Structure formats: structure tokens, C-alpha cells
Amino acid sequence: MSEHNEEHVHNQVKIYIRVFVILTVLTVVTVLVSRAQFGPAMAVFVGLAIATLKGGLVASYFMHLKTEKWWIYGVLLLTAFFFVVLLGVTYMTINDSFGEVVHPDLRMPAADHQDTDHGAGH
């Protein structure tokens, strides 16, 4: 029985080392992508895709969710769904003018605009 446990532990350590190497490679890819000349939307998409992959690896192996029951995956999918919804709400507000700074001259009522020339005819 002891040999079986040692073999199991050895296999688990190999898996953790592989996942660590993959996470390290994905971190390097993230840094390289951040320096690439993508548009803002593409940079966000690629960054989120890599982060999702890394998060999935961490959750699956280091948090041991790979061996958990299916209802935990349901909770994770629900969380991912609400994450996408919140990203969508944020995306829809990109063209809002709420909070936009208005030119100071446009904020004054028309009666407050007075001619500063005090000389001719007044």
C-alpha cells in the first residue's frame, strides 16, 4: 500500500509541476501580448482569454475542483455567466456621456453671458 501512495504522490507532483510550467508560459505570453500593438478591444479580449485559461488551471488543479462534483461546476458556470453580463453592461456604457466634462461656457445660462466691453454706448 505504501508503494501505491508514493506513486500517487509522485504523479500528483508531476501534474503540479506541469501546471506550474504552463502557468509560467502563459504569464510570459501575457506580458508579450501586453506589449503588442493590438487595438483596445482586442487587447482586452486576449488578456481576458489568457486570464480565464490561467484561472481555470488554478481552480482545476490547485483548488482541486477537477475532482469535485458537478454542482460546483454549475456554480462556476453561473459565476462566469454573471461575469459576462457585467462585462456586457460595462461595454454598453462606453458611449454614454454621463460624467463627461462639459465646456464651461456651455454650462452658463444665456442671461449670464454679458458683454465685457464697457466702453461703446453703455
- CA–centroid distance for 62 within its chain: 21
Cβ-count burial 99-116 (b if 16+ within 10 Å, e if not): eeeeeeeeeeeeeeeeee
DSSP class per residue in 2-28: HHHHHHHHHHHHHHHHHHHHHHHHHHH
pLDDT in single tens digits along all 122 residues of the chain = 577 788 888 998 999 999 999 999 999 999 998 888 888 888 888 989 999 999 989 988 888 777 777 777 788 889 999 999 998 888 887 777 666 665 666 555 555 555 555 555 55
Predicted pLDDT at 58: 92
C-alpha distances in angstroms, 43 versus 10, 28, 50, 87, 100?
39, 15, 11, 15, 25
